[in-house]
A and B are shown apart, each in its own frame.
Chain A
Amino acid sequence: MALSLSAMRSAPFSAKLGMSLILLYAVLAIFAPLIAPYAEQEVVGPTYQPWVAPYYLGTDALGRDVLSRLIYGARNTVGIALMATGLAFLIGSTLGLVAATMGGWVDTALSRLVDVLMAIPSLIFALLILTITGTSVVALILVIAVLDSTRVFRLSRAVAQGILTLDYIEVARMRGEGLGWIVRREILPNAAAPLIAEFGLRFCFVFLFIAALSFLGLGLQPPTADWGSMVRESARLISFANFSSWQTATFGLAPLLPAAAIAILTVSVNLVVDWVLHLSSGLKD
């Protein structure tokens, strides 16, 4: 396996930094109720408090603790992104590998369908569907998973097609192996590295996508703590940023906090993906 422990130990600093940050986010998301000083939707004090104890990152327009909401946001935003990506992968890679292996009309039909879905920009398509279904978490996950599975389909189909030209596939076919064996035992082990890297990239994309929808007010709905909607709620404050005093400065920086939380996670994932890609390409030659 490419991601063995020894490989991790010899990873470059950037990849290690990425992995540590991802670990930190995971801990925050999993143990949010234990770590966060206040509850997710609790009004704890006056509105727009500066960054002083006990509100280390201040309070928002409704007097809720920003730090607590950020921690719970990790749970909600990342959780939904993971679920949507996972589902997209399940659909996309299964169909992609099967389409490539079977070829013929199955491949043609699936590929044409994907072509059509991809001919509509995904944000636009998502907006269209969400107008119809209304904004709910389930609809959100399903819409994103289906839209994103088209890209996973393309990649896994291309990877599988590359592998299918190799003689060992012909050997398996000549032996009389069925579709299941060829996909699971011959193709999948060799397609794992690019698919893992793609999972990272797709996760970033989905995560940014959900954040964008929430920012537009069409993703997760209040009062659920979510980084995208937190940016939206505090967006106007940026114009009042003023570095003359601690209080005014922190006040104006409020929208940047959740935005930075998003950015740092995607940068971390990208750093790790970059390294995994480098590792798997380096192993080839």
Chain B
Amino acid sequence: MPTKLSPIPLLVLRRLGIGLLTLLIVSAVIFWAVELLPGDIATEVLGQSASPETIAAFKEQFGLTDPPMTRYLAWLGNAVQGDFGLSLANRRPIADLISDRAFNTFFLAGYAAAIAVPLSVGLGLLAALYRGGLLDRWISGTTLTVISFPEFFVAYILILLFSVQLGWFPSLANVTPDMTLADRLHTAFLPALTMVLIVAAHMMRMTRAAIVNLLALPYIEMAELKGMKAWRVIAIHALPNAVAPIVTVIALNLAYLIVGVVLVEVVFVYPGLGQLLVDSVAKRDMPVVQAACLIFAATYILLNLVADLIGIASNPRLLHPR
């Protein structure tokens, strides 16, 4: 039998290309959406009564005199190097505003993910193994409920319980750059737990579903008829074939964390990017909104890209072509 070259490098390159292209289009959408703003940023910020001189000076400072295409390219070029321009509200470089906050946000999302991913995949596997049993029904019931709760409801219940009643954790997660890691983990525990509860339920259900979907397949029955133990059927025969759907679900939920983080940051007054985004939207501080949107969107696209790549790499038909 002739062995063909593995199609994987080509597929990976293709997927990377699509990811980059998407990112480019998304950056254009973010930039041009603001361009379409009815009226003029300068008048918007300075008010109708501003003198032509003030407006001209403002436009000069924020580089609004060039044609939009030139500004887009300049904006994108600078953004790639970490320079997002000046904030309209306080005229400070956005990069300075963002750097600490972006770190805080990714710290929180990572914190939540580190707990949620192993927990939910593990419980999802257990639920699949003992499907129909008490544990399965309990997990299914709880997750269905938690999935339906708004983030802030979960957050306030946790505050009521662990902060107000028990006093174990602070209700305001006001982390500062000079905190030790342990302090940080303690302070950010409630927001992280909120996000864990929100995403873990969905991940657990989907992990279970991905495995249970496979259990009706003939090769699973074959493994049972070869006298394999139940855990082995799940772990060795079902799990490797469920990698792609499970990873997709994990990526989807990590991406959801990035969004959920906005609400949770507001509830816990956590000094992150989401909090900044919401404030800037309220103040209509466009450059900051654009910068924050770009960072969130890029992370989101990157996560989906990674999930797809893992999906490609876990497919035996692609790994070992005929």
In the complex, A touching B (Cβ < 8 A): yes
Instruction: Give a binary string over B6-34; 1 marks a CB under 8 Å from any A CB, 0 the rest.
Output: 00000000000000001101100110011
Q: In the complex, which residues 250-280 of chain A have their Cβ closer than 8 Å to any Cβ of chain B?
A: 252, 255-256, 259-260, 262-263, 266-267, 269-271, 274
> Does A204 touch B at the CB level, under 8 Å?
yes
Partner pick for A120 among B157, B164, B300, CB 8 A cutoff: B300
Partner pick for B296 among A116, A124, A274, CB 8 A cutoff: A124
- Chain A residue contacts of B266, Cβ below 8 A: 215-216
Instruction: Check B164–A267 contact: CB distance below 8 A.
Output: no
Instruction: Check A128–B289 contact: CB distance below 8 A.
Output: yes
| Chain A nearest Cβ from B157, distance in angstroms | 7
| Chain B nearest Cβ from A244, distance in angstroms | 12
| Chain B nearest Cβ from A185, distance in angstroms | 31
Partner pick for A216 among B36, B149, B278, B290, CB 8 A cutoff: B278
Partner pick for A211 among B144, B150, B165, B267, CB 8 A cutoff: B150
Stretch at the interface among A52-60, A170-178, A233-241: A233-241
Instruction: Check A215–B26 contact: CB distance below 8 A.
Output: no
Q: In the complex, which residues 206-232 of chain A have their Cβ closer than 8 Å to any Cβ of chain B?
A: 208, 211-212, 215-218, 228, 231
> Does A41 touch B at the CB level, under 8 Å?
no
Instruction: Check A215–B300 contact: CB distance below 8 A.
Output: no
Question: Which secondary structure characterizes the binding site on chain B?
Answer: helix
Report how far A239 CA is from B165 CA in the complex, Å.
9
Instruction: Check B301–A119 contact: CB distance below 8 A.
Output: yes
Report how far A41 CA is from B68 CA in the complex, Å.
45
> Does A166 touch B at the CB level, under 8 Å?
no
> Does B186 touch A at the CB level, under 8 Å?
no
Chain A: interface residue total (CB-CB under 8 A): 44
Q: What residue of chain B has the Cβ atom nearest to residue A208's Cβ? A: B150
- Chain B residue contacts of A260, Cβ below 8 A: 153
Instruction: Check B286–A131 contact: CB distance below 8 A.
Output: yes
Chain B: interface residue total (CB-CB under 8 A): 51
Instruction: Check A212–B151 contact: CB distance below 8 A.
Output: yes
- Chain B residue contacts of A256, Cβ below 8 A: 153, 156-157, 160
- Chain B residue contacts of A122, Cβ below 8 A: 259
Report how far A129 CA is from B30 CA in the complex, Å.
9
Report how far A243 CA is from B290 CA in the complex, Å.
45
> Does A115 touch B at the CB level, under 8 Å?
yes
Instruction: Give a binary string over B244-269; 1 marks a CB under 8 Å from any A CB, 0 the rest.
Output: 00000000000110110011001100
* Interface positions of A (Cβ within 8 A of B): 115-116, 119-125, 127-132, 204, 208, 211-212, 215-218, 228, 231, 235, 238-239, 241-243, 252, 255-256, 259-260, 262-263, 266-267, 269-271, 274
Nearest 9 interchain pairs by C-beta:
A266-B148, A259-B153, A267-B148, A121-B259, A123-B259, A263-B149, A124-B296, A131-B281, A120-B297
A-B contact pairs, 9 of them (CB 8 A): A121-B255, A123-B262, A127-B281, A132-B36, A215-B152, A216-B263, A243-B165, A262-B153, A269-B148
* Interface positions of B (Cβ within 8 A of A): 22-23, 25-26, 29-30, 33-34, 36-37, 144-145, 147-153, 156-157, 159-160, 163-165, 171, 255-256, 258-259, 262-263, 266-267, 277-278, 280-282, 284, 286, 289-290, 292-293, 296-297, 300-301, 304
